[in-house]
Amino acid sequence: MANTLLEARRELAIANRIVANEGVLDAFGHVSMRHPDNPNRYFLSRSRAPELVEPDDLIEYDLDSRPVREPGATQYSERVIHGEIYKARPDVMSVCHHHAASFMPLLATATEYVPVFHLGAVGGIRPPYWDQHEEFGDTNMLVVKPEEGASLARALGEHPMVLMRRHGVTAIGVSVKDCVFRCIYSTRNAEYQSRALAIGAVSSLSRGEADLSAKINTSTTGLTRAWEYWWVRLARAGLMVPETKAVPNAGKRPAKTPSRSARKTPASKKSRRR
């Protein structure tokens, strides 16, 4: 179990770096993972840029987004996004919240997302919009209160992602790799959709086409091929997460090794003075 958990934590760190390396995340945004052995827990990094996330940065939370143990690190303020979705959707194993630039024209104009090519179907047809202002009035647009996260989870419903007015996107997956695939290819679709709108009218895949195309990542070798491709690109960029040899300390930063002088006891110092 320890090795499996270690591998899962490393995969989550790699996922954060891949989604950043592919231009979906920048200094902000985050990818989480439901605990593989405990559905009432999830892992999310401490507050840092996704491209830098390491396994030791991961904090274990309950579904109320409370750390299981004192993390000794600053936490993401929007962690309730993850906890409330895991609470509402038992089928979800991974969540990503991002502010990809290609989505911003759609979010600023309340334009509906539609799949304009086959891989874009992973985002669904016209996923729901969530307008935080309608329920909570003026805010700084961050989702920081449990009731805000619960509202977002209700808007998501059974959809694969939810659009957030003038803010970003939250997407889910049945695995970490599935979530990464959805984030990257829905972002590509949003880019193509915006470009196409600049040329003229845009039409969506049909419902049947979208339903069949949305299964490409789970019914073919597409997910494996894509993950290998992103993995190699991450390695070439010099950003691959090093392999670790021991189970990390669940969100706590490693303690500094005491200096040789600090390890000496007061008694030893006293004896030397004599």
**How much is the pLDDT for 2?**
58
Scanning the structure block, which residue is given the tokens 């679709």? Answer: 189
Question: Is it the case that residue 191 has pLDDT exceeding 90?
Answer: yes
How long a stretch of residues is the chain? 274
pLDDT tens profile 13-31: 999 999 999 999 999 999 9
CA 98/CA 27 separation, integer angstroms = 10
User: Average model confidence (pLDDT) for the chain?
Assistant: 90
Token pair for 34 = 């439901």
* 267 pLDDT higher than 70: no
Would you state the structure tokens that stand for residue 195, as one six-digit string? Answer: 């470009």
Q: What is the pLDDT of residue 55?
A: 97
- Which two structure tokens, joined as six digits, stand for 232? 């190699």
Distance CA 187, CA 120 (A): 8
Written as six digits, the tokens of 49 are 């840029």
Rounded Cα distance, 180 and 173, in Å = 8
Strands 129-130 and 161-164: parallel
Q: What phi and psi, each to the nearest 5 degrees, are found at residue 220?
A: -130, -175
* 209 is an active site residue: no
Which three-class secondary structure state does DSSP give residue 135? helix
Pairwise CA distance, residues 160 & 170, whole Å: 9
% of the chain beyond a pLDDT of 90:
85
The answer to whether 18 and 180 are in contact (CB under 8 A) is yes
Question: CA 179 from chain center: how many Å?
Answer: 8
In sequence order, which residues have a C-beta less than 8 Å from that of residue 205 and are 6 or more positions away? 114, 115, 116, 117, 118, 120, 121, 125, 213
- Residue 243: band (very low, low, confident or very high) from pLDDT cuts 50, 70, 90: confident
- Helix, strand, coil percent content, the chain, rounded in steps of 5: 45, 15, 40
Mean pLDDT of 245-252: 49
Q: What pLDDT digit, counting tens, does each position of 97-119 carry? A: 999 999 999 999 999 999 999 99
Q: Is the pLDDT of residue 270 over 80?
A: no
The CATH label, of 3.40.50.2000, 3.40.225.10, 3.40.50.300, 3.90.1010.10, for the domain at 2-273 is 3.40.225.10
Q: Give the count of beta carbons closer than 10 Å to the beta carbon of residue 109.
A: 11
Catalytic residue among 11, 22, 78, 191: 78
Domain boundaries along the sequence of the chain: 2-273
Q: How far is CA 53 from CA 44, 47, 169, 215, in A?
A: 10, 9, 20, 29
Look up residue 202 and give its two tokens.
């845009």
**Given its phi and psi angles, is residue 106 left (phi above 0), alpha (psi -120 to 50 degrees) or beta?**
alpha
